[in-house]
A and B are shown apart, each in its own frame.
Chain A
Amino acid sequence: MRKTRLLAALLLFLLLTFPLWGSAYFVGRIFTPALFFGIIALSLSLLAGYGGMVSLAQMTLAGLAGYGYGYLTITLGQPWWIGILAGLAVATLAALVFGLIAVRSTGIYFLMITVALGMVVYALANQNRSIFGGHTGILGIRAPELFGHSLVERTIFYYLCLAIGLTTYGFVRYLAGTPFGLALQALRDDPRRLSTLGYNVALHRVAAFTLSGFLAGIGGLLLVWYNGAISPTTIDLTRLINILVIAVIGGLAYAEGAFLGALVFVLVTNFASSFTQRFNTVIGLTFLAIVLFSPEGLSGIALRLWSLLRRTLLARLAPSRHTGL
């Protein structure tokens, strides 16, 4: 266990000092997007990994937070903090409503209903001008400014995303050990048994979904600050699927997987596009390969390699240790 902790400390150190030695491109264009996409994907890991609910509407919830922020700050001209509160409130409330609708379904039914809900919101955003701004969406969205600095300045925004990413990650990990988190995992494994124990299964599902909406909303705010605009394209079917792709590539059952998957996703979209126009094919094939051959995702592969490495090392070291004694 000590080795794992050492590794985590090293990783944390590297992430914290990254802007000091990493290239501006990597800090601003790779790691920062990876962090906020990671947060949105984390909201799915929470649902899928703990609660067994695979939702395709996470990007919709993130987008709704962005729309809420944009509508309040641009269309209504309110200060940024009202925008943040409204954005998070919209995402959380929408998640509550979605949760209430989809809660009675599980597995593929849940997947189908969430994708349909997400696409209906997309259609609404496209049709409605007064709130969503129709096809163009809401333009000119600005991030909050503190002490004369805009929050989206490269280094500041990196640290902001990192801080929020670490906090949300820590929160989701912490949640796994709480009674609520344990109940969720029980619900994933055997809902009937859980309800026999007197738990309200539906209520737990709705609560988990609402919580995931809040998380997705946080990621959505960062996304909309980064992009400076929001339009229906941000929440179209491709983008909804991207979040699932990210979480699955990283490993749906692991909170780390969300960020790992997001990093791989952003890297592939940025670098594959320089040597082929068909980077979506690359992503799709990677996704297919993971689903078919390693459902645990990259986290699962990494964990397997890690334990294999440790076992071989221990096996090698064990005899020599004996002779040493």
Chain B
Amino acid sequence: MSWPQFVTVTLNGLTLAALYFIVAIGFTLIFGVLRVVNLAHGSLYLFGGYFGWSVADRTGSWVLGAVAALFVTSLAGLLLQLGLLRRIHGQELREALVTIGVSIVAADLMLARWGGFTYDFSPPEVITGGLRIPLLDIGYPRYRLFVLAFAIALGLILWFVLARTRLGITVRAAIDDRDMVAAVGIDVQRLFALMFAVGAGLAGLAGVIGGSVLSISSGEDARYLLASLIVVIVGGMGSLPGTAVAAVLVALVEQYSLALFPTYAAIVSFLLMVVVLALRPQGLFGRPA
């Protein structure tokens, strides 16, 4: 690999990691607080992408599309939690099965509404176009750097909320011991609903942000579900720093192996997961169950 190529691949890896982080963090939050493996997370991503595209297409505003996606998928997540999951709360496997059922129906209905086409976004001009990186003399799409910056900002905000605010303290306490949080008089049901809405909304927002990197089409739901799964398995379930580190690790490994040996890249992600599970079954930052 030549030097500029190496830089490009690394940047690709980092920006992909940013996207993985935005998608997977919602999955992690929901899992951490509610112990729900939301296998409809990919569907929420796709739904956010489609819906955001439709809104952006009607209004001509990418930002409005992104906001609409965030809002609508939050609502969808809220409905999923309050309508279906709440009544079987605590039965982890059954909850996972319900999210699978939802993902089957959602995939089919989205196919009916948006068809098998590919949709392209047009983000505002401020964040599109190319950027020349000084010294190395290589061009790089500005939008991808925006994704990276956005993910870092999101991570910092989440970290601040979790570390410094009352809500964050409650969330962290709930991740550690839900029963105790309920016992001290906090309305956990409200917390659960809120967390589900936030997690789902982030998936939907990621749909627009990620869809704008390439495009959005059916099948992306499976791809980003897999990315979320591998990231949280490697990073440790329910851990914010774990998700960040694992997103970088998984994305970099994926991009380097795609550049070096394209036909076996999937094996390398697989090996990464295997090695982590063999050494630390709870993930890099996870605590033993």
A and B physically associate:
yes
* A97-123 interface bits toward B, Cβ cutoff 8 Å, 1 = contact, 0 = none: 000011011011101110111011101
Instruction: Please tell me if B97 contacts chain A, counting CB pairs below 8 Å.
Output: yes
| A16–chain B nearest beta-carbon distance, Å | 35
The reply to whether B263 and A128 form a contact with Cβ atoms under 8 Å apart is yes
Task: List the A residue with the shortest CB-CB distance to B261.
Answer: A127
Instruction: Please tell me if A177 contacts chain B, counting CB pairs below 8 Å.
Output: no
CA distance A93 to B100 in the complex (A): 28
**B105 touches which of A107, A113, A284, A295 (Cβ 8 Å):** A284
| Residues of B contacting A109 in the complex (Cβ-Cβ under 8 angstroms) | 237, 289
CA distance A105 to B262 in the complex (A): 31
Instruction: Please tell me if B64 contacts chain A, counting CB pairs below 8 Å.
Output: no
| A55–chain B nearest beta-carbon distance, Å | 12
* B245-266 interface bits toward A, Cβ cutoff 8 Å, 1 = contact, 0 = none: 0000000000000000011111
CA distance A112 to B39 in the complex (A): 9
| Residues of B contacting A119 in the complex (Cβ-Cβ under 8 angstroms) | 222, 225-226, 229
The reply to whether A111 and B277 form a contact with Cβ atoms under 8 Å apart is no
Q: How large is the interface on B (under 10, 10 to 19, 20 to 34, 35 or more residues)?
A: 35 or more
Among the listed stretches A189-197, A274-282, A313-321, which one makes contact with chain B, having 4 or more residues with CB under 8 Å of it?
A: A274-282
Instruction: Please tell me if B159 contacts chain A, counting CB pairs below 8 Å.
Output: no
| B256–chain A nearest beta-carbon distance, Å | 15
Instruction: Please tell me if A17 contacts chain B, counting CB pairs below 8 Å.
Output: no
State the majority secondary structure of interface residues on B. helix
The reply to whether B105 and A116 form a contact with Cβ atoms under 8 Å apart is no
Task: List the A residue with the shortest CB-CB distance to B108.
Answer: A280
**A111 touches which of B37, B107, B278 (Cβ 8 Å):** B37
| Residues of B contacting A238 in the complex (Cβ-Cβ under 8 angstroms) | 104, 107, 222
Task: List the A residue with the shortest CB-CB distance to B229.
Answer: A116
Task: List the B residue with the shortest CB-CB distance to A105.
Answer: B281
Instruction: Please tell me if A85 contacts chain B, counting CB pairs below 8 Å.
Output: no
A-B pairs with CB below 8 Å: how many? Answer: 121
CA distance A123 to B262 in the complex (A): 11
Instruction: Please tell me if B157 contacts chain A, counting CB pairs below 8 Å.
Output: no
The reply to whether A101 and B269 form a contact with Cβ atoms under 8 Å apart is no
The reply to whether A281 and B93 form a contact with Cβ atoms under 8 Å apart is no
Task: List the B residue with the shortest CB-CB distance to A111.
Answer: B96
State the majority secondary structure of interface residues on A. helix
The reply to whether A120 and B266 form a contact with Cβ atoms under 8 Å apart is yes
Which B residues between 202 and 244 are near A, CB-CB below 8 angstroms?
222, 225-226, 229-230, 232-233, 237
| Residues of A contacting B274 in the complex (Cβ-Cβ under 8 angstroms) | 101
| Residues of A contacting B232 in the complex (Cβ-Cβ under 8 angstroms) | 112
CA distance A111 to B101 in the complex (A): 15
CA distance A292 to B86 in the complex (A): 11
Task: List the B residue with the shortest CB-CB distance to A126.
Answer: B266
| Residues of B contacting A283 in the complex (Cβ-Cβ under 8 angstroms) | 104
The reply to whether A284 and B101 form a contact with Cβ atoms under 8 Å apart is yes
The reply to whether A278 and B233 form a contact with Cβ atoms under 8 Å apart is no
Instruction: Please tell me if B287 contacts chain A, counting CB pairs below 8 Å.
Output: no
**A287 touches which of B88, B101, B237 (Cβ 8 Å):** B101
Task: List the A residue with the shortest CB-CB distance to B96.
Answer: A108
The reply to whether A288 and B266 form a contact with Cβ atoms under 8 Å apart is no
The reply to whether A127 and B266 form a contact with Cβ atoms under 8 Å apart is yes
The reply to whether A115 and B229 form a contact with Cβ atoms under 8 Å apart is yes
Among the listed stretches A73-81, A158-166, A241-249, which one makes contact with chain B, having 4 or more residues with CB under 8 Å of it?
A: A241-249
Residue of B112, B265, B270, B273 most packed against chain A (CB within 10 A)? B270
| Residues of B contacting A281 in the complex (Cβ-Cβ under 8 angstroms) | 104-105, 108-109
| A104–chain B nearest beta-carbon distance, Å | 4
Instruction: Please tell me if A129 contacts chain B, counting CB pairs below 8 Å.
Output: yes
Task: List the B residue with the shortest CB-CB distance to A279.
Answer: B108
The reply to whether A104 and B281 form a contact with Cβ atoms under 8 Å apart is yes
Known: A101-B278, A245-B104. A127 touches B270 (CB 8 A): no
Instruction: Please tell me if A186 contacts chain B, counting CB pairs below 8 Å.
Output: no
Closest 4 CB pairs of A and B: A284-B104, A284-B105, A288-B101, A280-B108
Beyond A237-B226, A291-B97, list 19 extra A-B contacts (CB 8 Å).
A101-B273, A119-B225, A120-B269, A120-B270, A121-B266, A123-B226, A124-B266, A124-B267, A126-B266, A127-B262, A236-B222, A237-B225, A244-B100, A248-B97, A280-B107, A284-B102, A288-B84, A291-B94, A292-B88
Q: Can you list 20 A-B contacts (CB < 8 A)?
A: A101-B278, A102-B277, A104-B277, A105-B277, A107-B92, A107-B93, A115-B39, A116-B273, A123-B266, A124-B264, A124-B270, A127-B262, A237-B225, A238-B104, A241-B104, A245-B100, A285-B105, A287-B100, A287-B104, A288-B101
Seen from chain A, the residues whose Cβ lies within 8 Å of a Cβ on chain B are 54, 101-102, 104-105, 107-109, 111-113, 115-117, 119-121, 123-124, 126-130, 236-238, 241, 244-245, 248, 277-278, 280-281, 283-285, 287-288, 291-292, 295
